Amino acid sequence: MSSYIQGQQLRNNGPVLVQVEFEVYGGVQGVNFTKYCKEMCGRFDLKGWTKLSPYGTVQGILQGERANVDEMAMWLQHQGSPGSRIEHCELRNWQILDKYDYRHFNVRF
């Protein structure tokens, strides 16, 4: 494996930690989306937060190992909570992290 590829997969002899902001559009309020989002983030060992926005969307920040954040991004884009209807999901401001900024994943109000 080339050093370039190793550098992309590992950082400081460990997995690459990333952060991404998300906003999910569609029928995502009134269907326990934030509750299921928190549950899924627990399964993927992700940190950050989510909340209902005043614009009818769900917003938040994910932090974790790149592969786990990618899996959660797929859930946000294509699955969501039971009863939700996802039109689209924006993933923006991707960053590589040296350490977590959050200790847990929480639902904000």
Amino acid letter, 55 = Y
Kindly state the tokens that stand for 109.
Answer: 């109000």
Q: Contact 50/37 with Cβ under 8 angstroms?
A: yes
Instruction: State the pLDDT at residue 50.
Output: 98
Place of tokens 């989510």: 50
How far apart, in whole angstroms, are the C-alpha atoms of residue 26 and residue 48?
22
pLDDT digits (tens, 9 = 90+) for 3-45: 333 444 555 567 899 999 999 999 999 999 999 999 999 999 9
Mean local confidence (pLDDT), 48-62: 98
